Structure 1
């Protein structure tokens, strides 16, 4: 599926000088952001013991972080359109450093919740801003792949949260571990100040200087684009399973539910990170080569996740390790798969509305994620399995079954918005061929190239 409008991006034949250095610093900023976002992924049991709380409260830590993230997406998008992305990336790193410092020294729940608010706010400002930097520095035909490369490198933040951070937690202790995360965040802020730039020298910046009272009107216009709504629902349906698994509930599910060792659970979470990183460039390449088939990629990702989770929750006992590994891989693909939603937003809106469109898209995935994270915690509590001592597999099965209604809503939204997007494209003379016809055309083109 292609959108209706192609914004003015980096209209160059290739990346300009210095683009890769800027990209590298932006990628480092996102690595640190993912480390901050997932820093409770393998520390849920430690946090439960440190703050003497159950699963519902631990889930509230992640939910509050997601809620702040989602609530700030539209304001961040609007501010990015007005101020540029560099300032927001720096501000995000500073906020995350402050949040992790507070978490490092906290021993009570209110201060810990405030710490996660700061982390969520900093996280909210970073990702969409790095994506805008990429859009400004690279030509449009390379943006889908470059966007996936941002996600590829960002997954190393997940590795940092499940390997060295866990080692620090179990060695030096809680405070040194989270002080280390705060230090990395401060270092990222310094690097962004020194190197990151909004756009290449001399390039025009698509800044929106409209009064704030017109912002609501621009957002309404953005939402009227069916391609934007297709991006919203694509981002709703794809990432929540992986976000809930990697951010909080995957480690307890694997250790306490599936009876894996801590080393085995950490290995599967590392596999999750590798799968997300490796699949990202593949999805980016497919999106760039087949822009009229992006929605089919999204639906394929969702179907794979739903089938694997159905198999795992239907088993009467612990799942075989091979099935758990396959589940982790398929769930991980949802993270780069969710990037397709941003591509719909990018190709469906002019440049001066791109920040708001990206923010609206990002809201959807994290809204679904926070609903699932909160729902799992509450479902465990209701079943009397709300503490590490009482976690059990049957309770986790019912809790993770909450994913299926979320997928149903997302798929319905995708199908409806896709039909309306295709109708709009038809009025512009763009006809989306049937899958069968497109496959035949591609095969014929390959045969023709081979016969040259």
Structure 2
């Protein structure tokens, strides 16, 4: 098979859809692995480069800074050139960034390489979601989204204990050569199986030409309704899962580095099962009226409650508390494909990328912001545990405010 052909309805045949999904999933696995690896490597990077909490937060957040910087041009390129061409160009950039990271001799070099890696993998979810918007039926699209995130959890799982086990054998620098090789293999798979892209031209029978600018996305009430939740709640989930759960276990709960890596392994294994479950039940939920907006409305208060308990418990909060927090936040993942479905297919790339920009801008702000707040509270005289609690308390307040805004906005065009 060299290219996949869509059927007469525009949807891919089931077997072809599975092969295309697996090719994209391989790239997203690599993206998630390189995204989360800083949590496991934080002890060795902190020691080798004398990093403070704000430096660690900025280093992890640099990935998301590069990621977010590419989202607006990415959306336009996806709509114009299609997922296949765009993701291959971007993944080539991530290979360069990974190799550069392995050669770093200073924090500035580390940070710059991390930003380049983030830019390079920024199409790994948006490209397939843009394709799925055209190639899959709505229920299958929701399932594919959840299972893409399950693949991400598998990548994050690989970034924990497997990385910890490999470290004595390879050192952290060689790990990034291995990562670059895995990304190249995923590029070969995508080039082989993903179908070509034809620009969608709306039929005259549809009436008024659909909007085609980012301004139309930003003015959309449903997009506006979901934006603060994407920034703080969803961005905070990724920030905790990919970084701050690790330092919390080390510096608040008193875990050893191996225990922390094991805890991260359990957290990501929990999220893998969670997203697999969402993929299984989503078609049933859609048939019974449980659309994404309704699920988010019920899920976010639970995540806020779990976060408050974790903060209050302090040193008693270990991997299980953060696993429960991440699980309770997972309903937010359903908002992403819902935003894509709220727009015409010709605008799906822009809508999805604009929403992703909000998410990963939030990840960057929350990751770095928590580090800045921890250092600031310690400078003000608070103990280390109290500083972590105070910093996460500020994050909690932001999550509560974003949910209040979500409830206040009435959006008539939410997908049902």
TM-score, structure 1 as length reference: 0.80
What's the CA shift for 1:319? 0.9
Query: Could you report, residue by residue, the CA deviation over 1:92-115 in whole angstroms, capped at 9, with x for unpaired residues?
Result: 322221111111111112211111
Pick from 330, 344, 352 the counterpart of residue 346 of structure 2: 352
Structure 1 residues 404 and 139: alpha-carbon distance in aligned structure 2, compared to 1, 3 A threshold: same
CA distance in 2, matches of 1:54, 1:10: 57
Task: Give matches, 1:135-214, under 5 Å.
Answer: 135-198=133-196, 205-206=199-200
| Partner residue, 1:224 | 219
Q: Which moved more, 1:188-197 or 1:390-399?
A: 390-399
CA distance in 2, matches of 1:409, 1:376: 17
CA distance in 1, matches of 2:229, 2:200: 26
Structure 1 unmatched ranges of 5 or more: 1-8, 209-214, 433-452
Structure 1 residues 358 and 110: alpha-carbon distance in aligned structure 2, compared to 1, 3 A threshold: same
CA distance in 2, matches of 1:401, 1:15: 49
CA distance in 1, matches of 2:239, 2:20: 31
CA distance in 2, matches of 1:64, 1:27: 23
CA distance in 2, matches of 1:217, 1:24: 30
Structure 1 residues 160 and 282: alpha-carbon distance in aligned structure 2, compared to 1, 3 A threshold: closer
Structure 1 residues 145 and 57: alpha-carbon distance in aligned structure 2, compared to 1, 3 A threshold: same
CA distance in 2, matches of 1:121, 1:55: 24
| Partner residue, 1:240 | 235
Query: Could you report, residue by residue, the CA deviation over 1:186-238 in whole angstroms, capped at 9, with x for unpaired residues?
Result: 22222222222246xxxx54279xxxxxx997111222322222343442353
| Partner residue, 1:400 | 392
Structure 1 residues 10 and 22: alpha-carbon distance in aligned structure 2, compared to 1, 3 A threshold: farther
Query: Could you report, residue by residue, the CA deviation over 1:296-346 in whole angstroms, capped at 9, with x for unpaired residues?
Result: 32133322222122112223x52165xx41431332442x42332223212
Contact 1:234 1:341 in 2 (8 A): no
| Partner residue, 2:298 | 300
CA distance in 2, matches of 1:253, 1:218: 42
Task: Give matches, 1:274-353, under 5 Å.
Answer: 274-284=269-279, 285-286=281-282, 288-290=286-288, 293-315=291-313, 318-319=315-316, 324-334=319-329, 336-353=330-347
CA distance in 2, matches of 1:117, 1:178: 15
Pick from 399, 406, 410 the counterpart of residue 414 of structure 1: 406
Contact 1:242 1:332 in 2 (8 A): no
Larger Rg: 1
Contact 2:304 2:400 in 1 (8 A): no
CA distance in 2, matches of 1:377, 1:391: 15
TM-score, structure 2 as length reference: 0.87
Query: Could you report, residue by residue, the CA deviation over 1:62-118 in whole angstroms, capped at 9, with x for unpaired residues?
Result: 222212212221211111011101122212322221111111111112211111111
